[in-house]
């Protein structure tokens, strides 16, 4: 599988290199004349942008997927969405298990990094469940979508659309084939489509670890601390996001204003859930009010759960920082969640991740502002969407200059691979510290 790599290649480097290889292969395939409906070659930078967006399951696009790419090009994107969502190591491990081959210790370490696990114990068993759950969920969703679209298009096209959108939405990819960059705006009042899409996004965004935990709950009658934190955080953020979107947009004549109350609530929940990392929309994002857009920036920065198909700093990071803040304000020395004390190392890691994420995002936004003569909020929104691998857009992506495209490509790659993983992949290695400095006091506040 990857055992031929040299021993000095750490798991984070293998993970980052694997995504880079998939992106390079996808770039070459999408730049072929056969990948476009017109038979013309897609410029290499645009092909790289599309391949990165698909592999990093983001959904930002510079050309319309449904009208520009041929069936060949769309299938290439489909495979990249699947590989990017599940992770190339997950797919490779499944094939290895099917061939009755043994998974080496080194490969288990890489899988641990892929799934954001703290231990390799049970990692191969988890990978098997991940693949089974993913295929089952995508198959059921594809069947529903196909039946839903049978009355609107030929059967073969309905099946193809069903498979493509089931894979794209579950993997939080954000790619769609309806043309004219419309997303799911045609189905804003379709309750069945909205509910199906929201369920897929939630399942993809909560992470395979949590899905496995929930599936085994009837037998074990317990959930891990990680699953409790993820489920609680996603529930609170979704409810709060939906409430605020409804309040901000219910009188906006360009978004929720023309709808009746039931559809307004449904659309509010849809976009709150989509902000986890899905990148699909049922109303025009660019027409939303500034308060709504800024709220969406915050939720996109938080992102989804570890071990999921989404990006951002992760809901667990946000929860740990919130809990640490609350403990500090109350004068408590320990951070406690669900009657469990959180190790200080986890708090430092969460703080590091959030701080690096802010530096990367704000630095990228500053560079983009010098390259693109656009409003600040629009540039910040696009950069956050790329970093959180969300894929929602106010329209800036299609107007990016080449240097701007490069910045967004790097943000998408960083968001999918992960800040900590990428930092370890690029670092020269760490040696053991043989001494400790004396302590010192600094006045804070």
Say if 256 falls within a structural domain: yes
**37-73 tens-digit pLDDT:** 999 999 999 999 999 999 988 889 999 998 999 999 9
Sign of the alpha-carbon dihedral angle for 197, 231, 290, 61: negative
- Model pLDDT, residue 268: 95
Is residue 244's pLDDT more than 90? Answer: yes
Say if 441 falls within a structural domain: no
- Crossing angle, helix 44-55 and helix 402-417, to 10 degrees? 20
**381-406 tens-digit pLDDT:** 999 999 998 989 888 888 899 999 99
Say if 323 falls within a structural domain: yes
Say if 429 falls within a structural domain: no
Say if 355 falls within a structural domain: yes
Q: Could you give the CA distance from residue 214 to residue 208 in angstroms, rounded to a whole number?
A: 10
Say if 98 falls within a structural domain: yes
- Model pLDDT, residue 183: 79
Say how many domains are in the chain.
1
For residues 293 and 283, is the Cβ–Cβ distance under 8 A?
no
Say if 42 falls within a structural domain: yes
Say if 435 falls within a structural domain: no
**91-135 tens-digit pLDDT:** 555 555 555 556 555 555 555 555 555 555 555 666 677 778 888
> In degrees to the nearest 10, what's the CA dihedral of 239, 244, 250, 255?
-90
Indicate the average pLDDT of the chain: 84
**213-231 tens-digit pLDDT:** 888 888 888 888 888 999 9
- Model pLDDT, residue 96: 54
Q: How confident is the model at residue 9 (pLDDT cuts 50, 70, 90)?
A: low
Domain that holds residue 198: 11-421
Residue in this structure with the two tokens 């529903």, named with its chain if needed: 144
Helix ranges (H only) for 221-314 are 225-249, 261-274, 290-302
Mean per-residue pLDDT for 168-185? Answer: 86
């Amino acid at each position: 599988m990857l055992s031929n790599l040299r021993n000095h290649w750490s798991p984070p480097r293998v993970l980052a290199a694997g995504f880079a290889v998939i992106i390079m292969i996808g770039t070459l395939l999408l730049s072929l004349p056969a990948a476009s409906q017109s038979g013309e070659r897609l410029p290499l930078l645009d092909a790289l942008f599309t391949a990165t967006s698909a592999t990093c399951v983001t959904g930002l696009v510079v050309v319309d997927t449904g009208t520009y790419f041929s069936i060949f090009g769309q299938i290439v994107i489909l495979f990249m969405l699947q590989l990017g969502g599940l992770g190339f190591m997950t797919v490779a491990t499944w094939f290895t298990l099917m061939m009755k081959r043994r998974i080496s210790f080194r490969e288990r370490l890489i899988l641990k990094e892929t799934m954001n696990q703290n231990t390799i114990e049970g990692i191969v068993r988890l990978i098997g469940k991940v693949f089974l759950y993913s295929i089952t969920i995508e198959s059921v969703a594809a069947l529903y979508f196909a039946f839903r679209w049978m009355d609107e298009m030929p059967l073969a096209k309905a099946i193809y659309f069903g498979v493509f959108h089931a894979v794209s939405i579950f993997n939080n990819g954000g790619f769609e084939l309806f043309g004219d960059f419309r997303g799911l705006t045609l189905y804003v009042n379709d309750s069945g489509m909205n509910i199906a899409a929201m369920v897929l996004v939630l399942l993809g965004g909560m992470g395979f670890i949590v899905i496995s935990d929930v599936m085994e709950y009837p037998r074990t009658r317990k959930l891990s601390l990680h699953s409790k934190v993820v489920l609680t955080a996603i529930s609170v953020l979704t409810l709060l996001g939906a409430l605020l979107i409804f309040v901000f947009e219910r009188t906006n004549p360009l978004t929720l204003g023309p709808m009746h109350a039931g559809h307004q609530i449904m659309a509010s929940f849809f976009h709150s859930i989509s902000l986890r990392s899905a990148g699909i929309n049922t109303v025009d994002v660019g027409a939303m009010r500034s308060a709504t857009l800024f709220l969406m920036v915050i939720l996109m920065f938080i992102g989804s759960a570890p071990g999921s198909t989404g990006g951002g700093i992760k809901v667990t990071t946000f929860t740990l920082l919130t809990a640490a803040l609350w403990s500090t304000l109350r004068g408590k020395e320990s951070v406690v969640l669900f009657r469990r004390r959180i190790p200080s190392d986890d708090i430092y890691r969460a703080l590091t991740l959030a701080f690096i994420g802010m530096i990367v995002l704000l630095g990228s936004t500053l560079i983009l502002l010098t390259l693109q003569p656009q409003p600040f909020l629009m540039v910040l929104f696009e950069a956050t969407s790329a970093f959180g691998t969300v894929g929602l857009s106010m329209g800036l992506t299609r107007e990016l200059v080449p240097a701007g495209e490069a910045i967004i490509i790097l943000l998408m790659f960083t968001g999918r691979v992960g800040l900590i993983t990428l930092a370890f992949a690029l670092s020269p290695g760490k040696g053991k510290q043989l001494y400790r400095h004396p302590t010192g006091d600094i006045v804070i506040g």
